[in-house]
Structure 1
Amino acid sequence: MSDPVVIVVGNEKGGAGKSTLAIHVATALLHAGKRVAIIDLDLRQRSMSKFFANRAGWMHGNDQVLPMPVEPDMGDGKALARAGEDEQLARFEAAFAEAREQADVILIDTPGGDTLLSRTAHGLADQIVTPMNDSFVDFDLLGTVDPVTLDLLKPSIYSESVWEARKHRAITRGRGASIDWIVVTNRLAVAEARNRRRLEERMQKLAGRVGFRMGPGLRDRVIYRELFPFGLTVADLSSTVRPVSVSLAHVAARQELRNLMQALGLETGALDAPLDAAA
C-alpha cells in the first residue's frame, strides 16, 4: 500500500474555523470512497472527535449507515493536555503510525497555538490548509503590514514555521518532496466586505513571497453549524439523510464545499450529485 496523503489543518489563531473545515473535508473524502484517519490535536476542545462521536450516535438512533473515519486512540484529551511533551509526542507518534497502516488520507486538526504536537504535525504534512477570517485582524497570521500604507513588511512567525516544516521535509525525504500550502479565506460574510479587495491584493503579494496558494473557503452559514449536533455535513445530505429541511442555501453550501475540495486537489465524490431543495 502506498503512503497515505497527510493533510494538516492549521494556523496559530483560534476562531478561524479549522475544525469546521476539517470535518467537511473529512466527510467529503469519506463519500468519495477514501479511507480516512483523523487525529485531533486540539486536546482540550476535541471538536473533530466530538463531531464524529455525534455522527455515530445519530446513525444509531436513526438506523442509518454513513462512512466513518478511523480515529486512533490517544487517550483522554484533557489528561493528555496536562501531560508532559514527551508523553504527548509519544501518543501522537503511535496514533500516526496506526493511521498510516489503515488510511488513504490522514487528516490532522491542530490547536490555535504554537505547540510541539502542532509543529510535529506540520513537518509530516503533504498539504497544509490554513483557514483565516476575512479581515486584516487575521492577516497578521501570515504577515505584518505597515499601519499607514498597508504595504507588506515581513512574513509572520507562522509563515516562518511552515517554512521550517518545508525544510524539515526536504531534509528527511529529499529535495523532491514538498508541502503544498493553501490558504483559504474562511467564514466569509455573505455580503462583500469593503476591505476585501485590499486584503486579497496583499495576500497575493504575500503568497508569492512565502509560497502559498489561495483557495476558496466556507462562508459563514448557519447550515454548517446546524448539522454539527448530528455529526453531519452538507456532503451527507441525500434523499434519505435529511435531518433538516433542505433549501437552496444547502445546495449553495454543497457547491461551496465542492469548490474547496477541487482547490485542494481532492476528490469531490458525492458532491458531484445534484441535491434537490425542498419545494
Structure 2
Amino acid sequence: MAHIIVVGNEKGGAGKSTVSMHVATALSRMGYRVGALDLDLRQKTFARYLENRLSFCVREGHGLPTPDYRDLPSVNADELEDGENLYDRRLSLAVAGLEDTCDFILIDCPGSHTRLSQVAHSLADTLVTPLNDSFIDFDLLARVDPDTNKIIGPSVYSEMVWNARQLRAQAGLKPIDWVVLRNRVGAQNMHNKKKIGSAMEDLSKRIGFRVAPGFSERVIFRELFPRGLTLLDLKDIGVKNALNISNVAARQEVRDLLKEIKLPNIEINF
C-alpha cells in the first residue's frame, strides 16, 4: 500500500502547492514512485505546476524526475451505490489507480472546506499543514485570547482533523502523523515570532501535531512555477547562478523539510 501524504489547511496563500511540488519531486528524485492528485478542482495550482514541468521537459529536452499526476476520474450518478457521494467515489477511484504502483501518493487540498478535502484528510498517513507565521493563520488551528494570548480552544480546521482521526480509528487504521509547517518565518527574532512559536508548541501538545520549519519567503519560489521547476532542478538544467547563497539555503530548507516530515523508510540523498 502506498503511503498517503496530504497537504492541507483551510486557508489560501499558505504555500500548500509549493510544499506539495517540492516534496513530490524530491521523492521522485530519490527514486520513489510518486502519485499526485490535486483536489482544488477550480484553481488546480499543483496540477498546473506539474503540467508546466512536463511542457518544460519536452521543450528543453530534459528528463527531470516527475510524479505521476492523475485527474480525478469522471463518474456517472447512475454508477453510485445508494447513499454514496459522487466525490467520495471519484477520490477513491483515483487513489486506487495509484496505490498499487506507487510508494507515495501526495494529495494537495484546496484552501477551503470541501467534501473532497474532508475525505482526503481521513486517508492521510502523513498530514502536512503549512501555515504563514502569523496569528491570522494560527486562528485556523485555535482560538486565542486577545489579551493574554492563551489558547481558548481548537478552531475549525483542528476539529476537521480530529474528525478525520476518529474515522481512521473506527476503521482500524493507524493514526495520522500531523506536521504543521511554519512558513515565511521572519529572519529577525521579533517578539511576535516568539509568541507564535510559544503558542504553536503549547497547542501541539494539546491536540497532537509536530511543529517543523517550512520555507522562507523567497522570490525564487514564485519564479520557478512557470517552468514547473523546483530548487532541486536548478543545477541539473544549468541555470546561471543556480548555487548562489540564497538558493543553497533554500535547498537546505527542502532537505530539512523532508527530514522533519519523517516519512517511512526513506533515505534523503540530494
Equivalent of residue 53 in structure 2, options 52, 55, 72: 55
Q: How does 1:1-279 map to 2 (within 5 A)?
A: 3-74=1-72, 86-174=85-173, 177-238=174-235, 240-246=236-242, 247-266=244-263, 267=266, 269-271=268-270
Give the gaps of 5 or more residues in structure 1: 77-84, 272-279
Amino acid at match of 1:13: K
Any conservation in 2 of the 1:258–1:268 contact (CA below 8 Å)?
Answer: no
Calculate percent identity across the aligned residue pairs.
Answer: 46
Change (3 A) 1:27 1:268: farther
Q: Distance in 1 between the 2:190 and 2:257 partners?
A: 20
Deviation per residue, 1:95-143 (Å, 9 max, x gap): 1110112210000000011111001000000011001011111111110
TM-superposed CA distance for 1:244, in Å, is 4.7
TM-score normalised by length of structure 1: 0.88
Measured in 1, the distance between the counterparts of 2:259 and 2:24 equals 14
Shift of 1:160: 1.3
Q: Secondary structure at the match of 1:181?
A: strand
Question: What amino acid is the match of 2:147?
Answer: V
Counterpart AA for 1:135:
S
Give the distance between the partners of 1:72 and 1:99, measured in 2 at CA: 9
Q: How many residues align?
A: 258
Which deviations, in whole Å up to 9, do the C-alpha atoms of 1:65-94 show, x marking residues without a partner?
A: 011211223269xxxxxxxx9333322211
Q: Distance in 1 between matches of 2:267 and 2:218?
A: 20
Partners of 1:133 and 1:69 in 2: CA distance: 26
SS in 1 for 2:148: coil
Residue 81 of structure 1 aligns with which residue? none
| Structure 2 Cα separation of the partners of residues 191 and 222 of structure 1 | 18
Q: Deviations over 1:133-180 (max 9, x none)?
A: 111111111100111111110011211111111111111125xx1110
Between the aligned partners of 1:243 and 1:227, the Cα distance in structure 2 is 11
Distance in 1, Cα, partners of 2:118 & 2:151: 25
Aligned equivalents of 2:206 and 2:177: distance in 1?
A: 15
Cα distance 1:172–1:146, how it changes in 2: closer, same or farther (>3 A)? same
Distance in 1 (alpha carbons) for counterparts of 2:211 and 2:71? 33
Q: Distance in 2 between matches of 1:108 and 1:244?
A: 33
- For 1:162 and 1:211, locate their aligned partners in 2 and report how far apart those are by CA, in whole Å: 10
**Deviations for 1:32-54, whole angstroms, at most 9, x for unmatched residues?**
11100001001111111111111
CA distance in 1, matches of 2:121, 2:257: 20
Question: Is the 1:184–1:215 Cα contact (8 Å) retained in structure 2?
Answer: yes
Runs of at least 5 residues in structure 2 that lack an aligned partner in the other structure: 75-83
* 8 Å contact from structure 2 (residues 183, 216) kept in 1: yes
Contact 2:32 2:104 in 1 (8 A): yes
TM-score, normalised by the number of residues in structure 2 = 0.91
Runs of 4+ in 1 over 6 A off after TM superposition: none
Q: Is residue 262–residue 268 contact of structure 1 (8 Å, CA) maintained in 2?
A: no
Provide the secondary structure at the position in 2 that maps to 1:144: strand
**In 2, Cα distance between the equivalents of 1:189 and 1:19?**
21
Deviation at 1:268, TM superposition (A): 5.9
